[in-house]
Amino acid sequence: MNKRASGILLHISSLPSPFGIGDLGREAYRFVDFLKQAGQTYWQILPLNPTDTALGNSPYSSCSALASNTLFISPEQLVEDGFVEADGIVCDRAANDQKVDYPFVTALKAKILERAFVFSRKKILSDKDFKKFCAHQGSWLEDYCLFLALKSHFSGAAWTSWPADIRSRHASAVDHYSALLEEKILKEKFFQYLFYRQWSALRKYANAKDVEIIGDLPIYVQHDSVDVWASPENFQLQEDGSLKFLAGVPPDYFSQTGQLWGNPVYDWDVLQETDYAWWKERLKHNFALFDIVRIDHFRGFVDFWQVPSTETTAVNGTWGQAPAEDFFDTMLKAFKKFPIIAEDLGFLSDDVKQFIKESGFPGMKILLFAFDSDDDNPYLPHNHIKNCIVYTGTHDNNTTKGWFAQEATDKIKQKMTEVLGAEPTRDNVSWQLVTLAMRSVANTVIIPMQDLLDLDETCRMNIPGTAQGNWQWRMVASQNSPSLAQKFLKLTQKTNR
């Protein structure tokens, strides 16, 4: 990312569609066209991993680090590709076009995908592309589909409460349940194939339009996941599989009691002994899906906040150390290209700052954090460097308009006036900060779609530390209009991006 360029942050779920959630169908292609018309180089999304209503639908809390979210499969594309008949994708009721209703969407997509499986059951067994997909993705696909089949078989129970033989993956138990649940396993493989097929076509289309896709890789995985069940040795667990420590972050800007994520922390000694094989597979998989990968909570590769599993907040944690130098030396030798963005937000120790600086990986600068301190604030534009990514805000921030109305103090607004050379108001602040970001010396700028659309706090994506009401915002089809594309194109050209 060593050229002046820019892009837009918009998750797949936020795209318009008649099925209650954004998908990989025609509106995704239309958004690529919008990016091209606006002169943009990058489309940044959030993690594509499966989500769960019981976990607040967060894309950062998934049952698999490698599987993809089948809610994003386009029903219309299934019809077009001959995987289901048109009458198999009819909605029982109109979907909400401005917020994702996850229970509704989950039930609807399950019904559509079930119909697709029944319709395509016979032909997929001889489908060369399906067989090729299963063979190529087999290292994770077999475990994942068995895991989902087992979750269903045991009424959704966590893997730690399964019978001892399959909980511990005894070979005889794996063989027994693989045979018993063969049909369910085949079905899940088919669903993953459908996603992969649609995603590959969309990415190919984007790349042909000179648009690169930036994916997002959460550093941690969920405890009740195929990753921990299949490779428990990679994590700090008790003998019964329960957690020794919970991952999170100490008190910071977002929360006075820190954030207790609940994920298991890695056993870096074991990972190092295996030459980081698990991480190699994960990164290889993500580099195949995306052009560039943003690694969330990058500091966790240097030191990480671990909280005893008996705690209810993240306050009483301690810092653990990870073998950052050895890990990245190994990865850089393993991959010819290593296109990552280091999410380096929050409190950073001097060691972490030094490592990120020496690594050469571009970090992130957030303008909403720029105006609350002195002139040495690293997020202020005059302190930006070329090798960084500038955002007005991220998925964890309020929209710029909402932040200005709800969170910005008089002191912050005074500092903004000083930096901008004009007084910001609720009506102009979004594009003032968009323009400020685009003028930065930084090579890369990414703007959340909500800020381009000048949307308020009701349209923010996530409030950290809260479990409900997040990840729901959707864009209406008329909003990514030709006039907005032209407006952003003019600014992009004016700032030489």
Show which residues are catalytic.
296, 343, 396
**Quick one: which of 74, 29, 67, 30 has its CA closest to 51?**
67
Neighbours of 50 (CB within 10 A): 23
**Residue 52, class by beta-carbon neighbours within 10 Å (0-12 exposed, 13-18 middle, 19+ buried)?**
middle
Helix (H) or strand (E) holding 445: strand 444-448
Which residues have C-beta within 8 Å of that of residue 264, sequence separation ≥ 6? 220, 221, 223, 228, 235, 236, 237, 243, 244, 245, 246, 247
DSSP 233: G
Token readout for 423 is 């007084």
Nearest 10 degrees: CA dihedral of 278, 280, 285, 291? 150
Pairing of strands 363-366, 318-321: unpaired
Token readout for 308 is 């005893």
Q: Where are the alpha helices (DSSP H) in 246-392?
A: 268-273, 277-289, 324-334, 350-359
